[in-house]
Amino acid sequence: MTETSSRVAAQGLRWTISDIWAMTWRGIIRYIRLPQLLVFSTIQPILFLLLFTYVFGGAIKTSQANYINFLVPGILVQIVIFGSVQTGVGLAEDLSRGLIDRLRSLPMARSAVLMGRTLADLMRNIFVMVLMMTVALIIGFRPGGNILAIIGAMALIALFGFAFSWVSAAIGLSTKNAETAQVAGFIWVFPLVFASSIFVPIETMPHWLEAFAKISPITVTVNSVRALMLGLPVGDNLWQSLVWIIGILIDFSMLAVWRYRKI
Amino acid sequence: MENEPIIKIRNLFKSYGKVRALEDVSFDVQKGAILGLLGPNGAGKTTIVNILTTLLKPDKGIAQVAGFNVAENPQAVRARIGLAGQFAAVDENLTGRENLELAGTLYHLPRAVVKERAQKLLEEFSLTEAAGRLAKTYSGGMRRRLDVASSLIGQPEILFLDEPTTGLDPQSRNELWLVIESLVKRGTTVLLTTQYLEEADRLADHIIIINEGKVVAQGTAKELKSNLGKSMLEVHVKDRHKIPAITALLAQFNPSVNETAEVVAVPITMGTQMLLEIIRQVESAGIELADIELRKPTLDEVFLNLTKKP
């Protein structure tokens, strides 16, 4: 009896993994078949990188003598945040096209639709991050941290983006329309991105904004990444960032799953 | 067990907020049948399909599919059904073949079986040539065919088609009808919703007419026509100026007039006796007739009669 039930459970798990993989594959294919999505998510941050390095950079005073060293860790975080908006857009698109209804009528794992989408976006984020890192190194980014710390920083960014994908998923499942999901996704992301330590040191902001930026999950994550990449002390930033990430992941994955069930 | 219906609905209720979508709906579908669920927009057809395909939970009542209660054992139901919903649910960024194979994978079929079935379905649905093209390049009819093909890859016992031909041109519609008919020959039970009487008349063995969330009539197309529609006697006059005279003559029979067609139509409510009486009266009044015709009711008339607002 227990043997059969454990066999059933093992098969259930195998099926769940195979479903998640099938859905992840489908999500990745989307980026390959719609290169404009990938171009949008790479060209835009590259332009930001060039713009801030060569145009605004000279006017921004940071702890780093070279603004690009200050900027790149921030830009990498910004990429995954903007990229995570696509999670909600993709889900809303599937929803409005009736694809989710079809999937919900299949004997597949319920979790696979959301997991597949968020994992595909995680892969996409990693790809864009590596690409950006390459461009950054070419135009003069010189991280002083050791290689393990840099890889750790990249992993932290990827995890951060994954958490934001769940926020985006919850939004996408609520809006049910790709255009609305796009707008609703960016509307709260934009102020959060700029009111953080991504582009400028927050000490230069007015006090009320600095107080907000200081506790922002983006700021603590960017500060951790910056410290790890440049070989500086991380201080309290790292654990604060991890607390934020875990909190966002738990809350918003629950919210997204709840929204998915309520469709 | 042999005659146990494959779909069994008892006293189903569903509301969306204050809107009552279903009110006490009960019906059965026998194995291997095509059931046509006919009704105007908003009648509750899609709600029924969504409950039977486990997308929606009923507020009250029982829905059983292939012997499983949809609310209690949805996963068992899902393994036995296929759904082609109101939108052609294809992934535009996958090719036709990839769409089919993805669906097959999600039914947990072995890889080789998925490949083989996908190939066969592509052939049956005349999509072989387009198999390697992205679905976004497909025409509306092709998308629909791919959608229905995807819903068949699990070889479901029961196929749900929610308004499968809405928005299709007559030729694509005809092609889809042929496919549906061939499915039933293989023993698949089909539940089809439609707004088109023509479609229900052509495909369905059994028709259930629903309106405002209630079953208002059911039976075969023939039964519905003979029980609910009346035969009409159409009298075509030679001289249109005689129409008022003939209308007055037949006033007791509740005639209706179609001026342009020069026709006076009388519902035959009392059989042959009435028919002979009318002809006798017209003849004795000396009105010349071009034609006289006894017409059976169309399903349209039945439908309009049943669903018209009081």
Q: How far is CA B81 from the centre of its chain?
A: 19
Q: Does any domain span residue B30?
A: yes
Nearest Cα neighbor of B223 from B247, B245, B195, B204 is: B204
Burial of A245 (0-12, 13-18, 19+ CB in 10 A): buried
Same-domain status, B117 and B242: no
Residue B239: inside a domain: yes
With an 8 Å Cβ cutoff, are B78 and A30 in contact? no
A61 and B CB contact within 8 Å: no
Q: Which of B102, B147, B151 sits opposite A22 (nearest CB)?
A: B102
B84 and B154, same domain (yes or no): yes
| Mean pLDDT across B217-233 | 79
Using a CB-CB cut-off of 8 Å, the residues of chain A touching B86 are 98
If pLDDT is split at 50, 70 and 90, which confidence band does B185 have? confident
Please tell me whether residues B288 and B207 are part of one structural domain. no
Stated pTM of the model: 0.83
B81 touches chain A (CB under 8 A): yes
Q: Which of B87, B106, B154 sits opposite A22 (nearest CB)?
A: B106
User: Is there a single domain that holds both residue B203 and residue B300?
Assistant: no
Domain that holds residue B74: 7-226
pLDDT in tens, A167-184: 999 999 998 788 888 888
**HSE on the CB side for A31, CA within 13 Å?**
23
Instruction: Round to whole Å and give the CA distance between B209 and B45.
Output: 9
User: Quick count: other Cβ atoms within 10 Å of Cβ A97?
Assistant: 18
Distance between CA atoms of A89 and A181, rounded to whole angstroms?
A: 5
Question: How far is the alpha carbon of B150 from chain A, nearest alpha carbon, in Å?
Answer: 9
Q: Tell me the residue type at A203.
A: E
Q: Is B233 on the interface with A (CB under 8 A)?
A: no
**Cβ–Cβ contact A146 with B under 8 A:** no
**Residue A22 to residue B134, Cβ atoms within 8 A:** no
Q: List the structure tokens of B206.
A: 């059994």
- Closest partner residue to B94 (CB to CB) among A26, A97, A107 is A26
User: Between A9 and A246, where is the model more confident?
Assistant: A246
From first CA to last CA, the distance across chain A in angstroms is: 36
Q: Which residue has the tokens 């006796």?
A: B273
Query: With contacts defined as CB-CB under 8 Å, which chain A residues touch B50?
Result: 101
Instruction: Print burial letters for A65-92: b (CB count within 10 Å at least 16), e (below 16).
Output: eebbbbbbbbbbbbbbbbbbbbbbbbbb
Residue B96 within a domain: yes
Q: What is the pLDDT of residues B258-274, one digit of tens each?
A: 767 678 888 777 777 88
Q: What is the CATH number of the domain that holds B67?
A: 3.40.50.300
CB A259 within 8 A of CB A91: no
Please compute the mean of the pLDDT values over residues B102-124 and round it to a whole number.
94
The reply to whether B167 and B274 lie within a common domain is: no
Res B259: pLDDT: 67
Domain membership of residue B1 (yes or no) is: no
Percent of chain A with pLDDT over 90: 60
pLDDT at A2: 60
Return the CATH number at B277. 3.30.70.980
* Residue found by looking up tokens 């669903």 in the block: B307
Report the chain B residue with the minimal C-alpha distance to residue A15.
B108
Confidence band of B54 (pLDDT split at 50, 70, 90)? very high
Same-domain pairing of B85 and B112: yes
What pLDDT was estimated at residue B105? 95
Integer Cα distance of B246 and B45 in angstroms = 44
Q: Is residue B279 part of a domain?
A: yes
Tell me the chain A residues in contact with residue B91 when contact means C-beta distances shorter than 8 Å: 26, 99
What mean pLDDT, rounded, does chain B reach? 87
Domain boundary at B161, B191, B226, which? B226
- Do B108 and A102 lie within an 8 Å CB cutoff? no
Task: State whether B134 and A33 contact (CB < 8 Å).
Answer: yes
User: Is B295 inside a domain boundary?
Assistant: yes
Tokens of A185: 């996704």
Task: Tell whether A107 is within 8 A of chain B (Cβ).
Answer: yes
Rounded to the nearest angstrom, the minimum Cα separation between B71 and chain A is: 13
Same-domain status, B104 and B240: no
pLDDT of res. A55:
85
Q: Is 70 exceeded by the pLDDT of residue B215? A: yes
Q: What is the chain B residue with the closest CA to A104?
A: B55
Q: Which of B226, B257, B279 is the last residue of a domain?
A: B226
Residue B263: φ, ψ to 5°: -125, 140
B238 pLDDT band, cuts 50/70/90, is: confident
Q: B145: distance to nearest CA of chain A, Å?
A: 15
* Nearest by CB: A98 against B53, B89, B105: B89
Count: domains in chain B: 2
On whether residue B2 sits in a domain, the answer given is: no
Q: Check residue A3 and give its pLDDT.
A: 66
**From the candidates B99, B108, B161, which should be mutated to test the interface with A, based on the most A CB atoms within 10 A?**
B108
Across chain A, mean pLDDT equals 90
With 80 as the cut, is the pLDDT of residue B24 above it? Answer: yes
In-domain check, residue B60? yes
- Between residues B300 and B203, which one has the greater pLDDT? B203
Cβ pair A102:B151 closer than 8 A? yes
Instruction: Give B105's contacts in chain A (Cβ within 8 Å).
Output: 18-19, 22
Q: Specify the pLDDT at position B171.
A: 86
- Average pLDDT over every residue of A34-48: 81
- Going by pLDDT thresholds of 50, 70 and 90, the confidence category of residue B122 is very high
3-state secondary structure chain B: CCCCCCEEEEEEEEEECCEEEEEEEEEEECCCCEEEEECCCCCCHHHHHHHHCCCCCCCEEEEEECCEECCCCHHHHHCCEEEECCCCCCCCCCEHHHHHHHHHHHCCCCHHHHHHHHHHHHHHCCCCCCCCCEHHHCCHHHHHHHHHHHHHCCCCCEEEEECCCCCCCHHHHHHHHHHHHHHHHCCCEEEEEECCHHHHHHHCCEEEEEECCEEEEEECHHHHHHHHCCCEEEEEECCHHHHHHHHHHCHHHCCEEECCCCEEEEECCCCHHHHHHHHHHHHHCCCCEEEEEEECCCHHHHHHHHHCCC
Average pLDDT over residues B200-226: 87
ipTM (interface pTM):
0.86
Give residue-wise pLDDT tens across range B281-307: 888 888 888 888 887 777 777 777 777
B70: nearest CA partner in chain A: A105
Q: Which of residues 65-104 of A touch B (CB under 8 A)?
A: 97-99, 101-104
Q: Do B91 and A98 touch (CB under 8 A)?
A: no
Q: What is the pLDDT of residue B310?
A: 52
pLDDT over 60 at A253, yes or no: yes
Instruction: State mean pLDDT over A236-252.
Output: 96
Question: Which pLDDT score, from 0 to 100, does residue A37 have?
Answer: 75
Q: Are residues B216 and B287 in the same domain?
A: no
- Residue B239 and residue B211 in one domain: no
pLDDT, residue B252, reads: 81
- Per residue in A48-89, pLDDT (tens digit) is 888 888 888 878 888 777 889 999 999 999 999 998 999 999
Q: Do A105 and B81 touch (CB under 8 A)?
A: yes
CB atoms within 10 A of CB B196: 18
Are A90 and A30 in contact by the 8 Å Cβ rule? The answer is: yes
| Cα–Cα distance for residue pair A65/B153, rounded to 1 Å | 62
Range in A123-137, B190-204, B288-302 the model is least confident about: B288-302
C-alpha B144/C-alpha B85 separation (Å) is: 10
Range with the lowest mean pLDDT among A116-130, B112-126, B155-169? B155-169
Length of chain B: 310
Classify residue A56 by its DSSP letter: I
CA distances from B27 to B149, B219, B294 (A): 27, 11, 34
The whole-angstrom distance between A41's CA and the closest CA on chain B is: 18
CA distance A106 to chain B (A): 5
Residues B57 and B203 placed together within one structural domain of the fold? yes
Pick the more confident residue, A124 or A6. Answer: A124
Same domain, residue pair B111 and B60: yes
pLDDT score of B49 = 95
For residue A247, what pLDDT is reported? 97
On whether both B99 and B217 belong to a single domain, the answer is: yes
Q: Is 70 exceeded by the pLDDT of residue B228?
A: no
Query: What does the alpha-carbon distance between residue B10 and residue B24 come to, in Å, rounded to a whole number?
Result: 8
